[in-house]
A and B are shown apart, each in its own frame.
Chain A
């Protein structure tokens, strides 16, 4: 039954994940075009194909992570609301799957798609990080220590989780996806504001990795709380 629901939810969000696939490929394709253009027409020194490839992966990974955050908000903000907007939620409510079955299916689709998108970009970053010592280059475009660290990857995932949680929590009450998506995208600002103001009030001074850790932890906690609230409200709300 769950598989049937997951398949249905994938089809429900087909326009979003199709766009996600195009955007993911696009992140690397656009960078490939840019770097080819720089190399051939602007005569920027790229030295070798390997360097050019790493540059494409690095830039694609960085842009891709931002795009994946956007899609986390889009998917989470739409997964409840699309069925409410066309009232197919009423049809679904009278079928055998319980509200919990529907929720499980929706969470699998939203978080599954988002995690796959992030894994692709993080993997691309990991390749750059680990291949860098083996490539001889003097270009300033590549960072000396590579773009991906464990802390960096965790930070990205935690902030994406808070974005998805924010969208889900608001979407549980809405019939259209505009406001939930916007609220989801604004959640990181809330997280940063919370950490900054609490640090100021408590007199905690931190920077560098310590600050990043605090931000990551706060984002993860916000993500957990907001996702829990979204799920709880979806399960208990008088539907539709």
Chain B
């Protein structure tokens, strides 16, 4: 992928807060024109990554580019091309809805008043109400309106549906898809709601422990990540592991592993090198199960490293 094809590109991005490493050598490339969902549990580093992309945090090392420009240099040109909808909306609380829209619209070159008006009607936002008196859902919708109405090439949403009820969540995501995901513009959004990501994303990245653990389309992930269950011989434990095991669990004689990438050869190798019965059960996973196994696997790895 050339620079001009990537909407977002990071290389070995690191960020620490004291002793806590929020991002570890994070490299990610998001092609233009797709909807990319970044999944991760709380504390995985999603918001830190997005805040570095938006120039709100400076990285300790590594590089980040948005639409081919360095992300840490806030320029008016880049801000005009990128829309940002954060998890928590800090729109001036003393402004009314109309004033907030008026204020933001005068700062952008390509503000689409027609789109803003249609979203205002669609979201049923009270024009004369102060932002401070809006509900959480209403504030989120106003944030989305402000993020969408300058028709950015790249829209970045940081857990936009967090804390919203399922109906507002659905409305919210539909609005993003209808107005923005047109194949030309890029949407990059983070969430820990697997069903939201599954519903709207062309590509999914799973972040855990400050790193990108898995990436690909939902279908590709389903094909490449599988759970394989073995039956151990009496009194035996798994002795030889395979590099493609991202998570494993032993329950009595049942040894369950999650392989990424899955391959029949890897399964045969595990059978050959461990004291297990010669048959294995291969189970297809949905995105939620893949997500959980990746996150648990990362926790196991971290615990092993800490113990070592």
CB of B76 within 8 A of CB of A97, answer yes
**CA–CA, A176 and B196, complex, Å:** 38
**Selected contact of A93 from candidates B56, B89, B103, B109, CB within 8 Å:** B56
B102 to chain A, nearest CB (A): 9
Assess whether A91 is interfacial by the CB under 8 Å rule: yes
User: Would you list which residues of chain B between 43 and 61 have a CB under 8 Å from chain A?
Assistant: 54-58
Number of residues on chain B facing chain A (CB within 8 A): 26
Say yes or no for A39: interface residue by CB 8 A criterion. no
Tell me, yes or no, whether A96 is within 8 Å of chain B by CB: yes
Whether A91 lies near B75 (C-beta < 8 A) is no
Q: Which of A12, A86, A239 sits near B56, CB closer than 8 Å?
A: A239
A99 with B58: CB separation less than 8 A: no
Size of interface on A: residues with Cβ below 8 Å to B: 22
Q: Is the CB of A91 within 8 A of B89?
A: yes
Shortest C-beta distance, B258 to chain A (Å), equals 38
What residues of B have a CB within 8 angstroms of the CB of A209 in the complex?
Answer: none
A95 close to chain B: CB less than 8 A: yes
A4 and B92 in contact (CB under 8 A), knowing A93-B55, A94-B79, A96-B80?
no
Contact across chains for B92 and A91 when beta carbons are under 8 A apart? yes
Query: What is the CA–CA distance of A95 and B55 in the complex, to the nearest angstrom?
Result: 11
Q: Which residues of chain B are near A239, meaning CB under 8 Å?
A: 56
Residue in contact with A90 in the complex, picked from B56, B93, B95, CB distance below 8 Å: B56
Does B91 sit within 8 A of A, measured CB to CB? Answer: yes
Q: Could you give, for residues 94-116 of chain A, a 1 whenever the CB lies within 8 Å of some chain B CB and a 0 otherwise? A: 11111101000000000000000
Query: A88 in the interface, Cβ–Cβ < 8 Å?
Result: yes
Per DSSP, chain B at the interface is loop
Whether B104 sits at the interface, judged by CB under 8 Å, is yes
Residue of A12, A86, A91 with highest tally of chain B CB at under 10 A: A91
In the complex, which residues 281-308 of chain B have their Cβ closer than 8 Å to any Cβ of chain A?
none
Task: Please provide the chain A residues from 86 to 142 with a CB less than 8 Å away from any CB of chain B in the complex.
Answer: 86-91, 93-99, 101
Closest partner residue, chain A, to B83 (CB atom):
A94
Using known A-B contacts A90-B86, A90-B90, A97-B76, determine if residue A4 contacts B103 with beta carbons closer than 8 Å: yes
Shortest CB–CB separation between residue B124 and chain A, in angstroms? 22
- What are the residues of chain B within 8 A of A12 when measuring CB–CB? 92, 94
Residue interface mask A167-183, B partner, CB < 8 A = 1: 00000000000000000
- Tell me, rounded to whole Å, the shortest Cβ–Cβ distance linking A55 to chain B: 41
| Chain B, 72-117, CB within 8 A of any chain A CB | 74-76, 79-80, 84, 86, 88-95, 103-104, 106-109
Q: Which residues does chain A contribute within 8 Å of B74, judged by CB atoms? A: 93, 98-99
C-alpha gap A94/B90 in the complex (Å): 11
A86 adjacent to B90 (CB under 8 Å): yes
Q: Which residue of B lies closest to A94 (CB)?
A: B84
Task: Give me the interface of B with A, judged by CB distance under 8 Å.
Answer: 54-58, 74-76, 79-80, 84, 86, 88-95, 103-104, 106-109
30 intermolecular pairs with C-beta atoms under 8 Å apart: A1-B76, A1-B106, A4-B103, A4-B106, A4-B107, A12-B94, A86-B90, A87-B88, A88-B91, A88-B92, A88-B93, A89-B90, A90-B90, A91-B91, A93-B55, A93-B74, A94-B54, A94-B86, A95-B79, A95-B104, A95-B107, A95-B108, A96-B79, A96-B80, A96-B107, A96-B109, A97-B107, A98-B74, A239-B56, A240-B56
